[in-house]
Amino acid sequence: MLQQENTGLIIVDVQDKLLDAMYNSESLLKNIKNLIAGSKILKLPIVWLEQNSQGLGRTVCQLREQLIDYQAIHKYTFNGCDTPQFIDAINSAGVQKWLVCGIEAHICVYQTCLGLLANNVEVEVVSDCISSRTKMNRDMAIQKLQNNRAGITSLEMCLYELLRDSRKPEFKQILSLIR
C-alpha cells in the first residue's frame, strides 16, 4: 500500500518536442497535471527530470508552471539513475517508494524505473500518466516493468490510496482533481 509519508513523485521528460508525438497526448498531459497537483496537495517530494533540454526543449509550460518551486534535473542518459544529481535527490528525499510518470514509457521511464529497482528503491508506475509514440511501446513498457517488480497503479488509484480516508482535509481537493 502506498503511504503518504513514504512516497514521492518522479516526472520523466515531459518536454516540448516529445509530448505532441505521444499516444493519447492530451489525456496524458491532463493526467500528469492532476498527478502533480495531487502530489502537491499531499505534500509528496517531487523530482523532475529533463532529457537533453537543448535538443528536446524544456518541460511543457503547463507542467513547469506547477513545478515552479522545484528544480529540473538535466540529463543525457536514458536512465535517470546514471545522473548523480538524480540519485542524490532520490536519496535525500526521505521516502522509499516513488510514483513514476512521464515519457517515453519504453525508453527513459523504463530505464529509470529499472535503475531505481536495481538500487532497491520501490517503484509504482502510474499507467495512465506514461506514454510512448505508440500504444504498443507503452503497453510493452508496462508489461516489462511489471515483470521486473515495478508496481503498476493509476492516477485515481494512487491518489486515493495515499489519501486513505475521506475525512482528511485534503479529500475535497483530491476529489476535484478526479471529477
Torsional class of 47: left (φ above 0), alpha (ψ -120 to 50), beta (otherwise): beta
Residues 33, 123: contact at Cβ < 8 Å? Answer: no
Of 79, 151, 78, 162, residue with least CA distance to 119 = 79
Which triple of cell numbers denotes residue 27? Answer: 489525456
How many other C-beta atoms lie within 10 A of the C-beta of residue 37?
Answer: 16
| Paired residues of 48 in beta bridges | 11, 72
Give the up-direction half-sphere exposure of residue 30: CA atoms within 13 A in the CB hemisphere. 8
pLDDT digit string (tens) for the chain, length 179 residues: 999 999 999 999 999 999 999 999 999 999 999 999 999 999 999 999 999 999 999 999 999 999 999 999 999 999 999 999 999 999 999 999 999 999 999 999 999 999 999 999 999 999 999 999 999 999 999 999 999 999 999 999 999 999 999 999 999 999 999 88
Long-range contacts of 60-66 (CB under 8 A, 24+ apart): 60/14, 60/15, 60/16, 60/19, 60/29, 62/29, 62/33, 63/11, 63/14, 63/29, 63/32, 63/33, 63/36, 66/33, 66/36, 66/37, 66/40
Q: Find the angle CA(10)-CA(109)-CA(149) to the nearest 5 degrees.
A: 90
Distance between CA atoms of 170 and 87, rounded to whole angstroms?
30
Of 90, 91, 59, residue with least CA distance to 74 = 59
pLDDT reported for residue 178: 87
Write down the pTM of the prediction: 0.97
Domains and CATH numbers, the chain: 4-178 (3.40.50.850)
pLDDT reported for residue 135: 97
